[in-house]
Amino acid sequence: MLEVDAVTVRFGAATALDGFSLRVPQGRRVAVMGPSGSGKSTLLRVVAGLQRPDGGHVRWAGVDVTDVPPHRRGFGLMFQDYALFPHRSVAGNVAYGLEMAGRSRAEIAERVRTMLELVGLPGAEDRDVATLSGGEQQRVALARTLAPAPRLVLLDEPLGSLDRALRDRLLVDMPRIFDRIGATVVYVTHDREEAFAVGDEIVVARAGRDVATGTPEALWHRPPDAWVARFIGLENVFPITRRGEETTTGWWTVPRVEGTPDATHVVIPPEAVRLGTGPLAGTVADARFLGGHYLVRLRLDVGVEIVADVPTVPARGSRVAFDIDPGRVVLVPDQPTSSSV
Amino acid sequence: MSRPGPALRTLAAVPLAFLGWFFVYPIARISLLALAPGGRFDPTPFAEVVTDPGIRSVAFFTLWQAVASTIGTLVLGLPAAYVFARYRFPGRRLLRALMTVPFVLPTLVVASAFVALVGPGGLLGVDLQGTVAAILLAHVFYNVPIVIRGVGAFWEQVDPAVGDAARTLGASPVRAFRTVTLPLLVPALASTAALVFLFTFTSFGVILVLGGFEHATIEVEIWRQTVAFLRLDVAAALSLTQLGFLAVVLAGYNRLQARRAVVLPQRPGSRHLRTPRGARDLGAVAGILGVTAAFLLGPLVVLVRRALLTPTGFGLDNFVALTERTTALFVPPVEAISNSLRFAAAATVLAVLVGVTAAVVVARDRGALGRGLDLLLMLPLAASAVTIGFGLLVSMDRPVDLRRSTLLLPIAHALVAVPFVVRAALPAMRAIGGRLREAAAVLGASPWRAWRTVEAPLAARALAVGTAFAFAVSLGEFGATAFLARPAAPTLPIAIFRLLGQPGRGTIGPAMALSVVLLVLTVAAIAAIETLRVGGDEL
């Protein structure tokens, strides 16, 4: 189990990490998701040992490794731009960690072959890394990271610079590879889709802090605050006001729902919006086909827009009545608190 | 590209005629002098060069001092190159600019500074003048900036993530450097070393002043054979031999440059810079910068101090003494200032005229004419200044006798400066009429406005940079000048050299004062270049 305990890193006046904590049990995958500048990459550098924290601890299996230099940690880090060694061939890159571990030449050749097969590049040993496509570079970097069988695999935006189709394919391939070798993984990304696809658990990072932790489903259905809700892609986040017993968005009276007393916003998941009948009405502004279902954007007379996830699509510009499933809405505070779900 | 039009060919005639008359023709005359001194083929001068034990030892010394200087330069320069490539700290740009100063200084200023530091009565209290140590110190001082700029700029492009990747894959810091960073630096290291080797191999002024009578490079020997022994044939044979050797080194350098271009994925360097953190980091950065800065700037401070030093404390006596006639010169030293400024002005006009027309042709014509001219333009840089001076000395009697013309020095200086002017002007000349004009046009600029708002400012700036370069080069030129300057009209470096060469006659102080004048003039010109320059590092 990896434990990151209240790690702080400052660069001059700027604070990259501000008491960040994280736990990854053996064999599990945690996706750290946050906007750029939230300290995600610094977190990986601290865990890898490339960056000394100003405060806090990193533990592995209960042992404090904060002062252990990177080459003695046995953690693998895959870099954002891959950082392949330009003066070495594909095999030379994949073999590097094995050479450092002092394996025999035959052992290394065998392991390199296995790893290249694992990432779907069999026979690429002698190629020059400069001739590889972006996707091939990504696979070589993954093979290089995994070759020495690291105790922990750290990945920094590993799909960041790839085109859509390739990214989608690797989003299927990579978790399978991790499953096959039973890797413990910390996966850093700014992309919700990637985080949901790879992470058993998601940690949301904001301004150097861990502001939310939970499974993808838990975060989607119970976001801890308005910022996190918006960041993971919930668009229907509306401010609320209370008048006596009544809680309202101005155009909809929120029924009695669970929520904290300091709630300032209501989050309505798109699947909680049901079109056809109901006390509310709006004009269809646009609709996006998502393959089997639609994301419909309704414009209300008061000027607000609300998004609905529905199986059929009404005509653009038509006026539709709708209703909101009160059991699926959540009341949340505005600013992140250090709560967990 | 189509064949060059008549306008371009007419334009090309200017640099071709200049280089043909004042560079190619003199080299031909040198060859003639070396191979056929009596009008018929005669290998005697070469035989003398090969068999004379004195000349053999000169060649050996030239080689080994260049190798030693190169190693010393790398050893002192690499730590600072590393700090500039990897760290961000207050005053980084200013410090790097300051540390570049030694490289652009005239040789005679460097020689004076080291006389003030380790010469007779020098600040350090040891008299090293006439020893190899003084020569090596001055050479390292002179060339460390090339390492800081050249290797440093390359190092900055090497993504530190590759070193970090090696660390996470189990390599210790030393092993990561040896197996990843060092192999990536090799092309930059090798080409920088070749450049330093070239400069120190052809060192002239520094050796002449600091080397005393015992130590001579081939350059110094060419001068001695010409001026002291009047053996022009031997000097010509030496000159030709050196030219051949330099051609081989330069070819190797070019191949390394070509290789260096392919390896790295280029990234904006400053992204990788980090602030030093922790006591060890801070100590190392401060220590490396402190030692390097002291070594690179200390001698200049010592020079200024020595210029202000009088028998009764500090004062301007040495500067006042510049107006007095001495036995070292036929004229008061102060006249050297106006001489140098006049020669530099003439040389600048010539160099800019030739350099800019050449840059236009090279930029416009991608065919044989442009490429050939580009190569031809670099040759004066490859041949040493001594060869240029010697060549003009032995060839300008015909077809027109220019040996007594006041234009001869400006011509020599312009030859040395033209490659720099071309390098400065080429990027702007390439930009003119191309994509920038199109960009301006789609943004709504008429051709005239596009020229006025985009191209003219670019051209003007390139012209200004070229002018400042030519001026600085001419001010400090010594190798060619030593052959061509007339006693009645010494330039600043010549006057400094003569004053330094009269130990014990009270001329050292004025020599230092005159060196400070030259230092200030040169630094002003270089500061103008740095302010005007559009792009980044050239090296």
Q: How far is CA B339 from CA B35, B217, B332, B410, in A?
A: 37, 29, 12, 11
Average pLDDT over every residue of B411-421: 92
Average pLDDT, chain B: 87
Alpha carbon of A220: minimum distance to chain B alpha carbons (Å): 35
Residues A177 and A127 in one domain: yes
Interface residue of B169, B178, B274, B281 to substitute, partner A, most A CBs within 10 Å: B169
Please tell me whether residues A140 and A260 are part of one structural domain: no
**Which pLDDT score is estimated for B506?**
79
Tokens 């005509």 locate to: A315
A85 and A153 together in one domain: yes
pLDDT at B193: 92
Q: Are B248 and B46 in contact (CB under 8 A)?
A: no
Domain check: are A124 and A178 in the same one?
yes
Degrees (nearest 5) of the Cα angle A116, A120, A121? Answer: 55
Nearest chain B Cα to A77, which residue?
B168
Contact B170 A48 (CB under 8 A): no
Collapsed DSSP state (helix, strand, coil) of residue B401: coil
Minimal Cα–Cα distance from A70 to chain B, Å?
A: 5
**Tokens found for residue B426:** 């080429």
Query: For the domain that residue A81 is a member of, what is the CATH number?
Result: 3.40.50.300
pLDDT at B1: 43
Inter-chain residue contact A96 with B166, CB threshold 8 Å: yes
What percent of chain B lies above the pLDDT cut of 90? 46
Task: Enumerate the residues of chain B whose CB falls inside 8 A of the CB of residue A81.
Answer: 159, 161
Chain A interface disruption, residue of B168, B172, B281, most A CBs within 10 A: B168
DSSP single-letter state for residue B159? -
The DSSP string of B45-81 is HHHHHHH-HHHHHHHHHHHHHHHHHHHHHHHHHHHHH
Beta-carbon contacts of B424 under 8 Å, excluding residues fewer than 6 positions away, are: B355, B462, B465, B466, B469, B529, B533
Determine the distance in angstroms separating the CA of B435 from the nearest CA of chain A, rounded to an integer. 28
Last residue of a domain, one of A205, A221, A237: A221
Assigned domain for B110 exists: yes
* Residues in chain A whose Cβ is within 8 Å of chain B: 11-12, 45, 48-50, 52, 69-77, 79-81, 83-87, 96-97, 100-101, 130, 144-145, 148
Q: Give CA angle at A140 (A136, A145), nearest 5°.
A: 145
- For residue A76, the chain B residues in CB contact (below 8 A) are 168-169
- Among A197, A221, A245, identify where a domain stops: A221
Q: Report yes or no on B447 lying in a domain.
A: no
Find the residue in B nearest to A75 (Cα): B168
The DSSP secondary structure of B74-129, one letter per residue, reads HHHHHHHHHHHHHB--TTHHHHHHHHHHHHHS-HHHHHHHHHHHHSTT-TTS---T
Chain A residues closer than 8 Å to B164 by CB: 45, 48, 50, 70, 77, 79, 83
* pLDDT band, residue A258 (cuts 50/70/90): low
**pLDDT of A341 strictly over 60:** no
**pLDDT bracket for residue B270 (50, 70, 90):** low
Written as six digits, the tokens of A182 are: 């039973």
Same domain, A216 and A235: no
Mutation test of the interface with chain B: which of A11, A47, A80, A85, choosing the one with the most B Cβ atoms within 10 A?
A85
Report the pLDDT value the prediction gives residue A257, as an integer from 0 to 100. 63
**Taking a C-beta distance cutoff of 8 angstroms, is the pair A101, B197 a contact?**
no
In the structure, what pLDDT confidence band is assigned to residue B474 with cuts at 50, 70 and 90?
very high
| Least Cα separation, residue A117 to chain B (angstroms) | 20
Residues of chain B numbered 275-314 and touching chain A (CB < 8 Å): 275, 277-278
For the segment B326-371, what is each residue's pLDDT rounded down to a tens digit? 777 888 889 999 999 999 999 999 999 999 899 888 888 878 888 8
pLDDT band at A143 (very low <50, low <70, confident <90, very high): very high
CB contact under 8 A, B162 and A80: no
Classify residue A340: in a domain, yes or no.
Answer: no
- Given A188, A221, A254, the domain boundary residue is A221
Please count the structural domains in chain A. 2
Residue B156 confidence (pLDDT): 87
pLDDT given at position B535: 46
Distance from CA of A72 to the nearest CA of B (A): 6
Beta carbons of A148 and B169 less than 8 Å apart:
yes
| Residue B171 belongs to domain with CATH number | 1.10.3720.10
pTM (2 d.p.): 0.81
Are A78 and A84 in contact by the 8 Å Cβ rule? The answer is no
Average pLDDT over residues B404-419: 92
Is residue B146 domain-resident?
yes
Residues of A in contact with B165 (CB under 8 A): 77, 79, 83-85, 144
| Statement: residue B383 has pLDDT above 70 | yes
Same domain? For A10 and A125 the reply is yes
* Number of domains present in the structure of chain B: 1
Q: Rounded to a whole number, what is the distance in Å from the CA of A46 to chain B's nearest CA?
A: 12
pLDDT given for residue B259 in this prediction: 65
Answer yes or no: do A50 and B167 touch at CB < 8 A.
Answer: yes
B127: left (phi over 0), alpha (psi -120 to 50) or beta: beta
Assigned domain for A338 exists: no
A180-197: per-residue pLDDT in tens?
A: 888 899 999 999 989 999
**A:B CB pairs within 8 Å:** 79
Mean pLDDT of B510-516: 94
β-pair type (A265-267, A273-289): unpaired
Distance from CA of A153 to the nearest CA of B (A): 11
Print the SS3 string covering B309-372.
Answer: EECCEECCHHHHHHHCCCCCCCCCCHHHHHHHHHHHHHHHHHHHHHHHHHHHHHHHCCCHHHHH
Residues A312 and A294 both lie in one domain: yes
The answer to whether residues B161 and A141 touch, using CB atoms and an 8 Å cutoff, is no
Whether A232 maps to a domain, the answer reads yes
Is A86–B179 a contact, with Cβ atoms under 8 angstroms apart?
Answer: no
Q: How many CB atoms lie within 10 A of CB B528?
A: 17
φ, ψ of residue A241 to 5 degrees: the values are -125, 150
Cis amide bond preceding B399, omega within 30: yes
Report the C-alpha gap between B43 and B41 in whole angstroms.
7
Clarify whether residues A181 and A317 are in a common domain.
no
Q: B186 in a domain, yes or no?
A: yes
pLDDT band at B2 (very low <50, low <70, confident <90, very high): low
Q: Residue B174 pLDDT > 90, yes or no? A: yes
pLDDT at residue B392, as a whole number: 94
* Domain annotation covers residue B306: no
pLDDT of B171 above 70: yes
List the 221-280 stretch of B: residues with Cβ below 8 A of A.
262-265, 275, 277-278
Within 8 A of A73 by CB-CB distance, chain B residues are: 168
Contacts of A52 in chain B (CB under 8 A): 277-278
Least confident of B237-246, B413-422, B435-444, B483-492: B435-444
Q: Is residue A183 part of a domain?
A: yes
Say yes or no: A186 and A269 in one domain.
Answer: no
- B193, B92, B167, A67 alpha-carbon torsion, rounded to 10°: 140
* Per-residue confidence band for B434, with pLDDT thresholds at 50, 70 and 90: low
Please, which pLDDT band fits residue B536 given cuts at 50, 70 and 90?
very low
Measured between alpha carbons, how far is B219 from B239 in angstroms, rounded to an integer? Answer: 8
The region of weakest confidence among A265-279, B258-272, B329-343 is B258-272
Q: Establish if A259 belongs to a structural domain.
A: yes
Contacts of B278 in chain A (CB under 8 A): 52
Q: A201 and A297: one domain?
A: no
Tokens of B489: 């009209």
**A125 within a domain of the structure (yes/no):** yes
> Quick check: B406 contacting A, CB < 8 Å?
no
- Is residue B332 within 8 A of residue B396, CB to CB? The reply is no
Q: Which residue of A has its CA nearest to B186?
A: A87
Which of A87, A99, A161 is the best mutation test for B, with the most CBs of B within 10 A?
A87
Query: Is some CB atom of chain A closer than 8 A to the CB atom of B162?
Result: yes
Domain that holds residue B148: 55-212
pLDDT at B297 over 90: yes
Give the pLDDT confidence score for residue B433 in this predicted structure.
66
Residue B262 has a pLDDT of 46
To the nearest whole Å, the CA of A48 is away from the closest chain B CA by: 7
Domain at A324, CATH number: 2.40.50.140
Closest CB from B164, B167, B184 relative to A86: B184
CA-CA distance, B383 to B237, in Å (whole number)? 14
The residue range of the domain holding A76 is 2-221
Residue B160 lies in a domain: yes
Q: Is residue A179 part of a domain?
A: yes
Residue A255 sits in the same domain as residue A145: no
Residues A37, A9, single domain; the answer is yes
